[in-house]
């Protein structure tokens, strides 16, 4: 029996080459977004530290980064004394929405005298992060095909072993009556990975689009 065929949803994972800056103003508050590529957490935090030092007189220096090394993805954000969830997370969300990895962004705010409220802060930080991404030089790292695999618990370790062996990113694992794995498989090894999983599970696997 052969592995089933189905439509492929391809997701391109991108990164940034170089460093870029964008600005945004809301009710006299000035927002400056500095975005840069980073190979690892150390490079990301070095950029954060340097940017904070450069804008040491600012009211806030919010940051977010996404670093991916092998099958491990590290994401972090910081509100820098803005109300919780109104700054760092929206900025991180912009990076996620663009499928960016190995990138760091610092959004600096100079307070303009008018409180923006939680919603206003979310919109302002998101807007400047979006502008920074739009002006950056984006390059494709890899193309991933996003799928969901459903298996019995007894097959979980075998499938995880294959995931560790291949270029596969696990986005979410849900344990219900069966195990549901939402994954991204690098397009260049997709067919081989599919056949390997189907073989390891003796056909007892359900494949589906995300």
pLDDT tens by residue, 45-67: 999 999 999 999 999 999 999 99
pLDDT-above-70 percentage for the chain: 92
Q: Give residue 115's pLDDT.
A: 94
C-alpha separations of 79 from 19, 64, 124, 183, 206 in Å: 22, 9, 13, 30, 41
C-alpha separations of 131 from 124, 136, 169 in Å: 11, 9, 28
Domains of the chain, CATH where assigned: 18-136 (3.30.230.30), 143-209 (3.30.70.240)
pLDDT-above-90 percentage for the chain: 70
Residue 68: how many other CB atoms lie within 10 Å:
19
Confidence grade of residue 8 (pLDDT, cut at 50, 70, 90): very low
Q: Are 181 and 148 in contact (CB under 8 A)?
A: yes
User: Angle at Cα 81 formed by Cα 83 and Cα 35, nearest 5°?
Assistant: 100
CA gap 47, 41 in Å, rounded? 10
């Amino acid at each position: 029996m052969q592995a089933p065929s189905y439509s492929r949803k391809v997701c391109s994972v991108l990164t940034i080459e170089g460093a870029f800056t964008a600005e945004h103003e809301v009710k006299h508050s000035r927002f400056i977004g500095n975005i840069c590529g980073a190979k690892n957490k150390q490079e990301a935090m070095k950029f954060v530290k340097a940017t904070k030092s450069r804008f040491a007189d600012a009211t806030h220096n919010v940051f977010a980064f996404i670093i991916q090394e092998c099958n491990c993805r590290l994401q972090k954000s910081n509100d820098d004394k803005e109300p919780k969830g109104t700054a760092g997370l929206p900025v991180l969300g912009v990076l996620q929405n663009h499928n960016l990895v190995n990138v760091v962004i610092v959004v600096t705010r100079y307070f303009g005298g008018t409180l923006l409220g939680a919603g206003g802060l979310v919109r302002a930080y998101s807007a400047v992060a979006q502008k920074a991404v739009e002006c950056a030089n984006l390059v494709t790292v890899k193309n991933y095909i996003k799928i969901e695999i459903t298996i019995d618990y007894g097959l979980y370790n075998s499938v995880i072993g294959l995931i560790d062996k291949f270029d596969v990113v696990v986005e979410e694992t849900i344990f219900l009556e069966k195990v549901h794995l939402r994954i991204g498989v690098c397009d260049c090894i997709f067919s081989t990975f599919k056949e390997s999983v189907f073989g390891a599970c003796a056909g007892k696997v359900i494949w589906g689009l995300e």
